[in-house]
Structure formats: C-alpha cells, structure tokens
Amino acid sequence: MLYGAAAPPRTPHTGGLLALVGGTGGLLTVAVLGIALLLLLIIKVRLQPVVALLTVSIAVGLAAGLSVTELFGTVQKSAAVSVIESGMGGILGHIAIIIGLGTMLGSILEVSGGAEVLSGRLLNLFGEHRAPFVMGLTGLIFGIPVFFDVGVFVLAPVVYAAAKRSGRSVLLYAMPLLAALSMTHAFLPPHPGPVAAAGLFDVSLGWIVVMGIACGIPAVLAAWVYAGWIGERVFVAVPQDMAEAAEEAKAAIAAEQRSAGGSPRETPVSFATVLVIIGTPLLLILAATFSSIMFAPSTPRSVVEFFGNPFVALTIALLMAYYLLGIRRGWSRRSLEKVSTSSLKPVGNILLVVGAGGVFGAVLKGSGIADALADTFDGMGLPVIVLAYLISLVLRVAQGSATVAIVTTAGITVPLVEDAGHSQPFLALVIMAISAGSIFASHVNDGGFWIVAKYFGISERDTLRSWTVLESVLSVTGFAVAAALSTVV
C-alpha cells in the first residue's frame, strides 16, 4: 500500500456535504473547497502549515462522509487503524530515519569545514576566473547532504570572499550556488521533498537518485546560464554586516566545539574524504537498486541490497564522518554528540509537515475523493506527469512552501498512477515533475526568498529579477527533461 497501513474499504457515504451535492460532484466540491481552505489558512490566516494541513484533513474527511471512528479510531484502540494514524505513520515510518541521518551527516560536514575545503580545492583546480562555476559546483556537491538554508549559511562567506576579490556583483557568484542548492534540495535524497514523495509513491530511492540527477543536472546548467547573464547586468555589493556576522558565527561554532572538548580544525579536512563521505551512500543505494534489476536472487545480491538500504547506507556514511571528520581530527565523543543532537532541532517541523501531508493524502484516498479526482483528471486528457507538475506549481506559487506543495500534490496524484502498472522509473519521473513544480517562482510568500534577499544584500526588486526567475528556469527545465524522459521509460 502507498500509505503504509491500509485504510478500511470504502463504501459510498450519504452523510456530510455529499447529501447536499451528491456523488462524484460532491466529492470534487469537497476537494476544491478543502484545497481553497488550506491556502486560505496558510496565506491569509498565517496558520502554521502543520496545523493547517491537519485542520483541512479533518474537515475534508468529515465533509466527504468519513465517520469520527474512521478518522481517529476508537478509545479502545481496536485492531482497525484510523485514517489519520495510517497517513501519518505510513509516511513518517519511511522518511523520518532517512531525514534524521542525512541531517546529522550534513551537520558534521558543515562544522568540520568540508564546504571550505570543497570550494578551495575546486578554485585551485579550475582557477579564479571560473569562480562562478566553482560556486555552483561546490553547491552541487555540498548541497546533497545539507538543507538549503544551511548551505546558504555555510557557503555565503565563500561568495562574499569571491565577490570582494573580483570587485564584481555578488549575484555572479551567489546565483550559481543557490541554483545548485535549490536543485539538490528539490530533486535528490536525503532531502525531505523527494524522500517523502518516494514514500507516498512507493518508489525506490535509487530511482529517485537516477532521475534526480538526469533531470536536475540539465536544470542547474540552464540556471547557471541565466545566473551568468543576470550577474553581469545587476550589480550587488558585498553586504558588510552579513559578512561580519558570518565570520562571527563561524568563530562561535569553533569556540563551542573546543569548549565541548574537541578541536575541530586542528587537522585539515581532505577533499577526497569529503567526496567519499558524500558519495558513499549514493553509490550504495544505486548499487542496490540496479542489482535487483540485473541479477537473480542470490546471497551476493542480498548483501548488496542490505548495504544499499537507505537506512544502512546513510548510517555507514554518518559513522565514516564521525571518524574521519571528527575523532581522527581530535573531536571528543561529547563534541560529536552535541553537533548531531543540535542538528536535529529544525527537523521536527519538517517531519510534522510531511506527516500532516501524508494525513491529507490518506483522507483523500479513504474518503473516495482521490478516486473521483483521478477519474476527473483522466477525463481531461492531459498526461499524468503534466498534471502533477501543474498542481504542484499552483500550490507552490499560492502558498510558498515547497514541502507542502510536494506532499499535497503527491496525495492528489498517487491515485492517478496507483493501478496503472507504471514502472519505477516512470513513477520517479512523476515525482521529479512534482519536485520541479514545487520550486517555481519563489517570491515573497516563500521563506527562501527572504533568506536569499537578506543574506546577500539584494533588494526585493532585484531578488525577483534574479532569484525568482532563476527558480523558474530550474523548474521549467527540470520538468521538460522529466516529461521528455517519460516518453521513453
């Protein structure tokens, strides 16, 4: 089942709003009003997305005729699993460990100075005159294990330094970096959006990696072309206050680690070490995915699939980081524990948003709304990959959150492909279309817009001209590649 525990078999309801509107028309009306209410609560009421998603899920379920018992279960907790429990537990059971392990891995790489090592070695390799490309390549590699905003925080000082040395616009160096960070965040595991969608669609993370790279690399290359164009036409000076604050923050982090008993920077980080740590889980996951396709069941194949399980692969990478970037460089066990624990604090909100999105999807499925939507969309004649992109795009532009757009769209889209017999590669491309739609036209209702504007000292007008258009280029190109690939897989 796509939502974890199975929801009870559905029979047509005659209660709720359906009694007034009737049948499929009533279900579609409930769906439209539910999405409108979700947008209203997030945009106008400014309700926290988790609360908004849960509120709308309950309202939609009751309006569509689900009983209180079906939604919440019974006080005695009988064997039947409620729709809300199955929706929340089904998706979180799949992604919580992956996101947690990935977050801790990214934190160790961040505090150890891995980003500086990456950018420094790449600058030496490609030369200062290719610094914008180096910024993008650094973001591409470092963005795999870290969240978008963490990547901005860690790599912004490198952008400031490059812009200072050259005397050119901050945009010339920041935009390629931001394009890469945004692409990895939207298209590649272990980031929450693609991981959550993979759980909802029941798709192997190996195929998400393959299609994420296939769609994401052309998208980021197109965005780099635009970044070079806009960077030469709009001058933005280095924001001195942010540059000074970044240096102070780095010094504070180093002091905190020393006070915890470690010496984080006494031994330089190896460029090869950073690449090995980041690349190991990706290679293990890919090996497991393709071994199941290429080889018959056997002991060697079982071994490869064991080490390629995302939980195992990320645990191996994290333990490697603990030793190679921590213990071997003088960190104490207490220091490692402190960095790992502090990195998990921002994850709670992400997991709850994803879980609430899973609840919304489960309510749509359990109430019969999903089937009604599937029938309606099939009648429109548009390919499912186009519908997935458009729904995600509209939700993204309307309410700003990429994660909310992904999990909501996935809940709506899963029934369109559930019984169609599509291959894993095709389903992965549908997820890429959803991910591409979720980053379209970042503007004033998106927290990422303000992070970019304030951290790099860009005016709102110039942020719209640079960052907003950059995100749209990423989105459209990524979708175009996904749509093209979907015709041949």
For residue 304, CA distances in Å to 84, 235, 292, 298, 312 come to 35, 51, 9, 10, 11
Both structure tokens of 231: 């960077």
Which residue has 């005016």 as its token pair?
459
Which residue has 């002091």 as its token pair?
255
* The model's pTM: 0.80
For residue 425, CA distances in Å to 159, 214, 365, 393 come to 37, 11, 24, 22
CA distance 1 to 333: 41
The pLDDT of 382-410, averaged and rounded, is 89
For residue 35, pLDDT over 50 is answered with: yes
Q: How confident is the model at residue 59 (pLDDT cuts 50, 70, 90)?
A: very high
Both structure tokens of 93: 């059971």
- Of 415, 353, 346, give the one whose Cα is nearest residue 38: 353
CA distance 463 to 12: 50
For residue 340, CA distances in Å to 292, 329, 346, 360, 403 come to 33, 16, 12, 31, 23
Mean model confidence pLDDT for the chain: 84
List CB contacts of 247: < 8 A, sequence separation 6 or more: 157
Least confident among 1-10, 17-26, 464-473: 1-10
CA distance 51 to 42: 9
| Cα Rg, the chain, nearest whole Å | 23
CA distance 123 to 136: 11
The segment with the largest mean pLDDT, out of 258-267, 332-341, 374-383, is: 332-341
For residue 211, pLDDT over 90 is answered with: yes
- Return the domain boundaries, the chain: 91-343
The segment with the largest mean pLDDT, out of 93-107, 164-178, 254-268, 359-373, is: 164-178
CB-side exposure of 441: number of CA atoms within 13 Å? 9
Least confident among 78-92, 273-287, 463-477: 78-92
Q: How confident is the model at residue 335 (pLDDT cuts 50, 70, 90)?
A: confident
- Of 441, 404, 429, 439, give the one whose Cα is nearest residue 480: 429
Residue type, 327: I
CA distance 429 to 352: 25
Give pLDDT, residue 19. Answer: 41
CA distance 384 to 394: 15
> Is the CA virtual torsion 152, 281, 321, 141 positive or negative?
negative
Please report, rounded to a whole number, the percentage of residues in the chain having pLDDT higher than 90: 34
Which residue has 């909802």 as its token pair?
200
CA distance 313 to 427: 23
Q: How confident is the model at residue 355 (pLDDT cuts 50, 70, 90)?
A: confident
Cα angle: 465, vertex 466, 471; to 5 degrees: 110
For residue 332, CA distances in Å to 44, 57, 106, 262, 478 come to 48, 46, 18, 5, 43
CA distance 264 to 142: 19
Pairwise pLDDT comparison (346 vs 78), residue with the higher score: 346
Give pLDDT, residue 392. Answer: 92
For residue 17, pLDDT over 50 is answered with: no
Residue type, 151: G
For residue 256, pLDDT over 60 is answered with: no
The DSSP symbol for 327 reads G
Could you tell me where the DSSP H helices lie in 113-191? 114-126, 131-142, 148-166, 170-187
Least confident among 181-185, 307-311, 376-380: 376-380
Residue type, 396: R
The DSSP symbol for 479 reads H
Residue 412 near residue 370, CB atoms below 8 Å:
yes
Give pLDDT, residue 75. Answer: 60
Length of the chain counted residue by residue: 489
The pLDDT of 179-195, averaged and rounded, is 93
Residue 186 near residue 436, CB atoms below 8 Å:
yes
